[in-house]
Amino acid sequence: MQHRTARIALDALATDPSLQAVYDYWHELRGSRTMPGWSEVDMMALPLEVIPWCSVIDVVDGGRDFTVRFWGTERTRLQAADYTGRSVFDIQPPAVGRKVKEELSQIIEAGAPMLFETWLADKDIATPATNYRMLRLPFGEENAVRSVMCVPRLSGNRRMVYDWFGAEVPVAYLTDPSSTRR
């Protein structure tokens, strides 16, 4: 399967009320600072439908590695593995682990939230069949990113996303492919 990822403007959050709510919560916690600290976060303040999809990744050695602190239950189902306590380099398939590291490195460098969109295609990436978005929010102190919250939102052909990760598609998506459940 082919994929390509690009950073897109945070303005695109306006089309997704749940992602917008997560970003607004982060922005409120941040106040006048560059970013909030992780200890300020109350996961239950997030929209409940996003929590099982979230992951929180800690920065190790200034970004030489990253360790998963929290891996939501739907992420486990999507990726057919629980990566809690593991390095992002363990994430399968390896292309996804590299993609995650690249995106996290951009967050560390900028010290700012970013929104990424990934397009998937069976053969020709010029005509992608589906996509998903990933909101990445930095947490730390001063200008040092210590953790990143990652909130994905699947859209389009969810079966293809599950296939990319080599996971079984949930029955809800098999019986209702037009489902808006995320």
Structural domain includes residue 54: yes
Q: Does 116 have pLDDT greater than 60?
A: yes
Whether residue 165 is predicted with pLDDT greater than 90 in this model: the reply is no
Instruction: Specify if 180 maps to a domain.
Output: no
Q: What is the dihedral of CA 3, 104, 57, 165, to 10 degrees?
A: 10
Q: Does residue 181 register a pLDDT over 50?
A: no
| Percent residues over pLDDT 70 in the chain | 92
Within 8 A by CB and 6+ apart from 92, the residues are 79, 80, 81, 165, 166
Residue at 123 is within a domain: yes
Domain count of the fold of the chain: 1
Provide the pLDDT for residue 176.
55
pLDDT of residue 179: 47
Higher pLDDT, residue 124 or 110: 110
Residue 84 belongs to some domain of the structure: yes
Domain assignment of residue 181, yes or no: no
Q: Which of 23, 49, 35, 45 is nearest to 136 (CA)?
A: 23
Rounded distance between C-alpha atoms, residue 147 and residue 165, angstroms = 24
Q: Does some domain include residue 93? A: yes
pLDDT digits (tens, 9 = 90+) for 58-75: 999 999 999 999 999 999
Calculate mean pLDDT across residues 102-129.
88
Q: State the DSSP H helix or E strand holding residue 172, giving kind and residue range, or none if neither.
A: helix 171-175
Average per-residue pLDDT for the chain: 90
Residue-level pLDDT at 13: 96
In which domain, by residue range, is 170 found? 2-175
> Which residues are registered as beta bridge partners of 6?
117
Kindly compute the dihedral angle of the four CA atoms of residues 59, 64, 65, 70, in this order, to the nearest 10 degrees.
Answer: 10
Say if 28 falls within a structural domain. Answer: yes
| Alpha helices in 70-169, H assignment, sequence order | 73-79, 94-110, 158-165
* Cβ pair 36, 141 in contact under 8 A: no
Average pLDDT over residues 39-47: 97
Average pLDDT, stretch 113-123? 90
Instruction: Name the phi and psi angles at 45, rounded to 5.
Output: -80, -10
Please give the span between the terminal C-alpha atoms of the chain, in angstroms, as a whole number: 22
Q: What is the pLDDT of residues 86-96, one digit of tens each?
A: 999 999 889 88
CATH number of the domain that residue 23 is part of? 3.30.450.20
Q: Please report the beta strands in 35-129, taking only residues with DSSP state E, as ranges in sequence order.
A: 55-60, 65-71, 114-121
Rounded distance between C-alpha atoms, residue 155 and residue 133, angstroms: 8
Q: Is residue 85 part of a domain?
A: yes
